[in-house]
Amino acid sequence: MGKAVEAAAHLKQHEIVARFNQSDMESLKEGNMAGIDVAIEFSRPEAAAENLKAALLLGLPVVCGTTGWDERMPEIERLALSVQGKLFISANFSIGVAMMTELTRKFAGMLSRFPEYDAYLLDIHHTQKLDSPSGTAIQLAKATYENGGRNLPIDSIREGNVVGIHEMRAESSNDLLMLRHEAKSRNAFAEGAIAASEFLVAHPPGVYGMRHLLGVG
């Protein structure tokens, strides 16, 4: 993802001024951040919270796409607000997935009136995917519940080199409805992360997500 984000940034005429990995994170905590407009964090679940904390305490607006660290998210969101920082978090930066999440929210509201439909989420990714279910599947499940829908079971499959497929299915004895998003490449995530970075720089301190980028949050 780091390479994909860098390529997407260059296409938008942005400059990458620093790169950090697990072995040199201490230099981020101690370094001079002058001239850096925003940090973009894609790492591992066990490292994300501390990376975000370091960036926020340095006064850096930060965009995070790492998933699997939900238990520490409230802590980091509180920190961002307490230091008047800027934080943008999403389980998936694809604009298409963001739109699917909003459609799922509406779909769930309608579906709640018709118990004859059995509904579930299908979550398919490559075998190297670290979290199961994926952060995106959890995001979709939350969207259904928040709009008065039911708790949906998630069927997670890890196979081959699948970039990412998510489906919400609702089936009755008479018909089957499917709302599906299939990622063709990681470029969609990288381009969305750059769009989120541009959004974050242009907005006041706060905690943001893809609904804000779409203009519905």
Average pLDDT, the chain: 90
- Top-level CATH class of 95-182? alpha beta
Q: Which residue has the higher pLDDT, 68 or 21?
A: 68
In the predicted model, is pLDDT for residue 96 greater than 70?
A: yes
Q: How many Cα neighbours within 13 Å face the side chain of 154?
A: 21
Q: Which of 84, 80, 82 is closest to 41 using CA atoms?
A: 80
Active-site annotation, residues: 125, 129
| pTM (two decimals) | 0.80
Fold type of domain 2-93+187-214:
Rossmann fold (3.40.50)
Cis ω before 133 (30° cut-off from 0)? yes
Domain with CATH 3.40.50.720 in the chain: 2-93+187-214
Buried b (16+ CB within 10 A) or exposed e, 92-123: bbbbebbebbbebbebbeebeeeeebebebbb
Where in the sequence of the chain do the CATH 3.30.360.10 domains occur? 95-182
pLDDT (0 to 100) of residue 26: 67
Distance CA 139, CA 168 (A): 12
Percent of the chain with pLDDT over 70: 95
Q: What is the pLDDT of residue 1?
A: 83
| Contact (CB, 8 A) for 79 and 54 | no
Question: Sheet harboring 39-41: ordered strands across?
Answer: 39-41, 62-64, 86-89, 206-208
Confidence of residue 93 (pLDDT cuts 50, 70, 90): very high
* Angle, CA 86 vertex, CA 192 and CA 129 arms, to 5°: 45
Q: Which region among 27-36, 83-92, 177-186 has the lowest average model confidence (pLDDT)?
A: 27-36
Does the pLDDT of residue 28 top 70, yes or no? no
| pLDDT given at position 22 | 72
Helix (H), strand (E) counts: the chain: 8, 8
Does the structure show a pLDDT above 80 at 182?
yes
- Mean pLDDT, rounded, for 121-146: 89
pLDDT value of position 130: 78
